[in-house]
C-alpha cells in the first residue's frame, strides 16, 4: 500500500509538471507582441493533437486503475490462519480493543480488553512480524478505523461487521483515529498503536489480566463499559 501511495504521488507530480510546462510554454510562445493584430489568427481543428490528448488521459487512468485494483486485492487478502485476533469496537467517542487470546498461554490464556474514554486514550498493542486480524464493529454510528502510518483505513458500521488482516513490520508507536465524522467529540476519538516485540505484547496482555480486564466487551455492552470506566476515572480523581 505504501508503494502505491508513493507511486500515485510521483505520477501526479510528473503529470502536473508536464501540464504546467505546457501552460507556461503556450503563454510565452504565443504571447501578444507589438504589431500583432488585435484578433489573432483563429484555428479550429487539429485531429492528431485532439486524438493524442484524448488517448493519453485514458492511458494514465488505465495504468492507475490497474495498480489500484491489484493493490486493493492484495491488501484485502485474508490470512487463512492469523496468529492473533483483535475485536475492535467503536463507540461514541472512543475505542474498545478485545484481545482474543484464550488459546495463547503466553498471553495469559484468556480474552482481555482495554476500554478507552474521552479522557483516557486507549492503547492498542500489536506484536511485530506476526499476522493480526481486526474485526470491526460499531456500537452506535458509523466510525472509521484509521492508522495513517499503515496507509489503510476501514469503516466501522453498525450491523455490518468488517475485517482485515495486517502484519506490522516495524516496532514503534503510531497514531490512530476515527476518520468518519461521528458526532460532537469525533476529534477526541483517537488511540495509540504500540508495535512491540512478541514478549512485550504477551506481557501487556498479562497485565490486563492482572488488572481484571478480562472477557470480551461486545458492541451491546461497550457503551455501558465506557460509562462505567468514566465513573471509575472520576472516582480516582
Neighbours of 180 (CB within 10 A): 19
Quick one: fold of 2-75?
Helix Hairpins (1.10.287)
Q: How far apart are CA 176 and CA 217, in angstroms?
A: 20
**CATH number for the domain whose boundaries are 84-236:** 2.60.40.420
- pLDDT per residue rounded down to tens, the chain (237 residues): 677 778 888 989 999 999 999 999 988 988 888 887 877 777 778 888 889 989 999 999 999 899 888 888 887 888 888 999 999 999 999 999 999 999 889 888 899 999 988 888 999 999 999 999 999 999 999 999 999 999 889 999 999 999 999 999 999 999 999 999 999 999 999 999 999 999 999 999 999 999 999 999 887 655 555 545 444 444 433
CATH 1.10.287 in the chain is located at: 2-75
Ranges of H-type helices in the chain: 2-29, 47-75, 198-210, 219-236
Domain with CATH 2.60.40.420 in the chain: 84-236
Global pTM exceeds 0.75: no
Amino acid at each position: 500500500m505504501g508503494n502505491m501511495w508513493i507511486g500515485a504521488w510521483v505520477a501526479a507530480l510528473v503529470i502536473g509538471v508536464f501540464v504546467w510546462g505546457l501552460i507556461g510554454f503556450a503563454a510565452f510562445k504565443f504571447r501578444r507582441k507589438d504589431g500583432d493584430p488585435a484578433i489573432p489568427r483563429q484555428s479550429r481543428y487539429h485531429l492528431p493533437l485532439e486524438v493524442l490528448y484524448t488517448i493519453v488521459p485514458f492511458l494514465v487512468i488505465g495504468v492507475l486503475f490497474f495498480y489500484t485494483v491489484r493493490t486493493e486485492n492484495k491488501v484485502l487478502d485474508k490470512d487463512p490462519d492469523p496468529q492473533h485476533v483483535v475485536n475492535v469496537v467503536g463507540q461514541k467517542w472512543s475505542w474498545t480493543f478485545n484481545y482474543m487470546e484464550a488459546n495463547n498461554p503466553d498471553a495469559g490464556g484468556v480474552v482481555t480488553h482495554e476500554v478507552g474514554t474521552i479522557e483516557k486514550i486507549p492503547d492498542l498493542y500489536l506484536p511485530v512480524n506476526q499476522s493480526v486480524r481486526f474485526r470491526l464493529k460499531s456500537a452506535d454510528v458509523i466510525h472509521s478505523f484509521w492508522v495513517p502510518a499503515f496507509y489503510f483505513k476501514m469503516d466501522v458500521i453498525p450491523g455490518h461487521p468488517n475485517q482485515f488482516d495486517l502484519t506490522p513490520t516495524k516496532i514503534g508507536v503510531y497514531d490512530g483515529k476515527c476518520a468518519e465524522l461521528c458526532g460532537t467529540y469525533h476529534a477526541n476519538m483517537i488511540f495509540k498503536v504500540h508495535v512491540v516485540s512478541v514478549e512485550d505484547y504477551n506481557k501487556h496482555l498479562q497485565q490486563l489480566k492482572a488488572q481484571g480486564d478480562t472477557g470480551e466487551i461486545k458492541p451491546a455492552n461497550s457503551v455501558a463499559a465506557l460509562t462505567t470506566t468514566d465513573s471509575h476515572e472520576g472516582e480516582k480523581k
